């Protein structure tokens, strides 16, 4: 049986055109700033996001770490959401490498307010760590791809400015947030000092993420990237498909959002618990407890009928739509779940 892989948009594969542009890419030593393709990518990315400069990194995790290190001194406080990717999934790099103190804020669908930032900030008492950075995640992965709106970013940014802190946006899926809200991406990140976004994931490039911000900050990040082993030589082989992705793969993310909505509605109609208000982009979180089983059991059963997903919590699983998954795949998934396996779904 053909497997339909909805585990994550990290499983996207580059298309032929993307791979072919690697063959034609002009290359040079990027540590010496002599790779024209990397330079073009960095200029294109920063222009699209409305920032002065850009830096190609090996991964989103690396770009987030660079942002933490460039904005904060050792021992500083970083305010972030309780289930932020930086806190939850980046191997504790903020503590072990950057030496930072996380101050966690409980968001609503991944979003917190300016007042929550004010309340979380330690202040300048002799006893407290210096509060230097607030990191927000747009879209928020563990909130099921929910978006920060322009107004919500502005509200947090007001507090951040008042407190003399800086704002980093973990925008691994910032183009999803922009499309879902019909908001130009540069406007959505206007208040941010730095933004990370991924060329891999929904944009389907094989490797790489970008960090963008003002020139001085990005040049300092470039040096830290070198220190942590992220200086790459003929990195145009990575930049070429990245450029292709920025030019050709952004608008099609809408297809992933449309597919996610159809999938979510279908799952609901066959008995899964889905909160449709959280289905804003390409991620669907489905509660499997109405089926009388836990998430791990369901994941195993789904694998048997060629549906690949990840458990998200003891009771919920996550489906992610992405490049390579079409409307037919979504119909097929719903058909397999309803018809091809004796799941105890109430109909």
Looking at the Cβ atoms of 174 and 343, the one nearer to ligand PLP is: 174
DSSP class per residue in 26-87: ----GGGT--HHHHHHHHHHHHHHT-SEEEEES-HHHHHHHHHHHH--TT-EEEEETT-HHH
Of 69, 172, 279, 295, the one binding ligand PLP (CB under 6 A) is 172
Of 141, 152, 181, 217, the one binding ligand PLP (CB under 6 A) is 141
Looking at the Cβ atoms of 210 and 337, the one nearer to ligand PLP is: 210
Looking at the Cβ atoms of 173 and 222, the one nearer to ligand PLP is: 173
Q: Please, what is the end-to-end C-alpha distance for the chain in angstroms? A: 25
CB of 238 to ligand PLP, least distance (A): 12
CB of 330 to ligand PLP, least distance (A): 22
The helix/strand/coil state of 108 is: strand
Using the CB atoms, write b or e for 222-235: b if 16+ within 10 Å: bebbeeeebebebb
Of 59, 254, 331, 338, the one binding ligand PLP (CB under 6 A) is 59
Using CB under 6 A as the binding rule, whether residue 143 contacts ligand PLP is answered as no
- Token pair recorded at residue 277: 């208000």
Q: Hey, which residues between 81 and 120 contact ligand PLP (CB under 6 A)?
A: 85
Of 37, 46, 61, 278, the one binding ligand PLP (CB under 6 A) is 61
Using CB under 6 A as the binding rule, whether residue 202 contacts ligand PLP is answered as no
* Angle, alpha carbons 171-173-178 (nearest 5°): 90
CB of 34 to ligand PLP, least distance (A): 25
277: how many CB neighbours lie within 10 A of its CB? 9
| Region near ligand PLP per CB under 6 A, out of 23-31, 54-62, 117-125, 279-287 | 54-62
Q: Of 103, 110, 62, 114, which Cα lies nearest the Cα of 80? A: 103
Q: Are 299 and 311 in contact (CB under 8 A)?
A: yes
Q: Which residues bind ligand PLP (CB under 6 A)?
A: 10, 59-61, 64, 85, 137, 141, 170, 172, 198, 200, 209
């Amino acid at each position: 049986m053909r497997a339909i892989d909805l585990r994550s948009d990290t499983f996207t594969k580059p298309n032929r055109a993307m791979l072919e542009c690697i063959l034609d890419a002009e290359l040079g030593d990027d540590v010496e700033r002599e790779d024209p393709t990397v330079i073009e990518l960095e200029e294109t990315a920063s222009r699209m996001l409305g920032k002065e400069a850009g830096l190609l990194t090996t991964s989103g995790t690396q770009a987030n770490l660079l942002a933490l290190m460039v904005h904060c001194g050792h021992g500083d406080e970083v305010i972030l959401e309780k289930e932020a990717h930086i806190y939850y999934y980046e191997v504790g790099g903020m503590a072990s490498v950057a030496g930072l103190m996380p101050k966690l804020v409980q968001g609503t669908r991944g979003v917190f307010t300016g007042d929550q930032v004010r309340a979380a900030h330690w202040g300048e008492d002799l006893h407290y760590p210096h509060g230097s950075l607030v990191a927000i995640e747009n879209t928020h992965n563990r909130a099921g791809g929910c978006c920060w709106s322009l107004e919500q970013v502005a509200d947090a940014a007001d507090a951040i400015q008042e407190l003399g802190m800086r704002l980093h946006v973990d925008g691994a899926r910032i183009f999803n947030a922009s499309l879902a809200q019909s908001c130009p991406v540069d406007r959505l990140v206007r208040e941010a000092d730095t933004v990370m976004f991924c060329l891999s994931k929904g944009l389907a490039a094989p490797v790489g993420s970008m960090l963008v911000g003002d020139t001085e900050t990005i040049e300092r990040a470039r040096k830290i990237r070198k220190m942590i082993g992220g200086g790459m030589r003929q990195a145009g082989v990575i930049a070429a498909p990245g450029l292709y992705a920025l030019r050709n793969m952004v608008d099609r993310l809408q297809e992933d959002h449309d597919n996610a909505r159809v999938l979510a509605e279908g799952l609901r109609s066959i008995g899964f618990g889905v909160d449709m208000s959280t289905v804003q982009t390409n991620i669907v979180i489905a509660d499997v407890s109405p089926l009388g089983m836990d998430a791990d059991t369901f994941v195993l059963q789904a694998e048997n009928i060629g549906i690949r997903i990840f458990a998200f919590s003891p009771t919920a699983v996550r489906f992610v739509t992405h490049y390579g998954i079409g409307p037919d795949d979504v119909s097929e998934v719903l058909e397999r779940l309803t018809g091809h396996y004796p799941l105890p779904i109430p109909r």
